[in-house]
Amino acid sequence: MRYEDLSDFVRCYNPQNRHQRKATWDENNMPEGRWRNYSYEELTARDKTSLDIFWLKDKSLTDLDNLPEPDELAAEIIENLESGLARFREIVTALER
């Protein structure tokens, strides 16, 4: 996972001012609007308060005939894990100073 994968979320999450957060989901643009907010009542009314976002479908997973080969997926996973570990090492080094 890369920053670009979450950039829409970060923009909607608006960490600088949580009172100005705006969801992108509504009845007129589903499933394209990916970011939705729920009230406490909506969450607790769901079966076992599941946070399963069944209304959101990843279009890249619907075309099963065009998935990357397993070795390509494995290599990408390894690359992402190694990148994450390197970043954590940088953080630990910075904290030790």
The string of pLDDT tens digits covering residues 47-73 is: 666 666 665 666 666 667 777 888 998
Distance of CA 52 to the CA centre of its chain: 13
Residue 94 lies in a domain: yes
- Same domain (yes/no): 1, 38: yes
Residue 61 lies in a domain: no
Q: Is the pLDDT of residue 82 over 70?
A: yes
Enclosing H/E stretch for 11:
helix 3-13
- Same domain (yes/no): 52, 90: no
Q: What is the pTM (predicted TM-score) of this model?
A: 0.36
Ramachandran sector of residue 68 (left: φ over 0; alpha: ψ -120 to 50; beta: rest): beta
Can you give the residue range of the structural domain that contains 2?
1-56
- Same domain (yes/no): 24, 45: yes
pLDDT at 55: 59
Whether the upstream peptide bond of residue 15 has omega within 30° of 0, thus cis, is: no
7-34 confidence digits (pLDDT tens)? 877 887 888 887 887 777 777 766 666 6
Give how many domains the chain has, as a whole number. Answer: 2
